[in-house]
Amino acid sequence: MLDWFQYILIGLAALAGGFVNAIAGGGTLITFPVLTAVGLPAVVANITNTVALSPGYLGATIAQWNDLKSQKRRLYLFVPASVIGGIIGGILLLNSGERLFRSLVPFLILLASVLLAIADPLRNYINKRLSTRGANLEHIQFAILPVLLAAVYGGYFGAGLSVIVLAVLGFLINDSLTRLNALKQAIAFSVNIAAAIFFVFSGQVNWSAALVMAIFAIIGGTLGGKLASKIKPSTLRWTVVTIGVIVSIIYFIR
């Protein structure tokens, strides 16, 4: 059982994580290390983090529904793959064991930091690529397996998932970046909700911490949505990247 000061810490971390996710992404790089810092085992911290933050993806998906409702064929293919991948990732996490997962944590955090760092250049490259190639390009069938594999990663750890999915979609599907972003959001939502529902029955969720985080993450996400136009996403993203690299170094040393 956590004490009141630890609940304040994870609440503030979730507030910051929700805020960051609403503007630039990468909130897990803030919330997960704080959960382990207050004493939660790494596996429990990761599972609790997934359950607590997953509802936030719903609002983002609903907000982009107008760009999704005309992509039903893609959703019919990618959502089942995302759900299956998220559950497989959850199964792998539960069967990793605390020692193995903790040994992987610094690498996972560093990977997520790198993915977050390349998000803007990747988005710009994909946007340029989409504007110069033929309109008939639609390799949706080749995107199913990469999306499934990305979903497995998302169910296992999750930070940086959106960058991986956008890269897959941008290289294999020809459409506007706005519509691909909406599709990416639906995939991330499916992965996280599937993994979260699976984890609910795992007995590994710290429910008091998850409840506190969920409430503050929603508040942070709301604030981020309102202040998004006043804050430069790249500045916030690089701040989170720096935090992630520092945290990964600390985990490596430990």
Tokens representing 137 are 């390009």
Helices (H) and strands (E) in the chain, counts: 12, 0
Average pLDDT over residues 130-150: 75
Give tens-digit pLDDT for 29-87. 899 999 999 999 999 999 999 999 888 777 777 777 888 888 888 999 999 999 999 99
As a whole number, the mean pLDDT across the chain is 87
In eight-state DSSP terms, residue 175 is: S
Residue type, 27: G
Phi and psi (nearest 5°) for 173? -130, 130
Residue 131 pLDDT: 72
What's the pTM?
0.86
Reduced to 3 states (helix: H, G, I; strand: E, B; else coil), residue 138 is: strand
Under DSSP, is residue 19 helix (H, G, I), strand (E, B) or coil?
Answer: helix
Closest Cα to residue 27, out of 7, 12, 41? 12
Spell out the domain ranges in the chain: 4-253
pLDDT at residue 139, rounded to an integer: 67
Q: Which residue has the higher pLDDT, 92 or 174?
A: 92
Give start and end residues of each alpha helix (H) in 70-176.
72-96, 98-117, 119-132, 140-156, 161-172
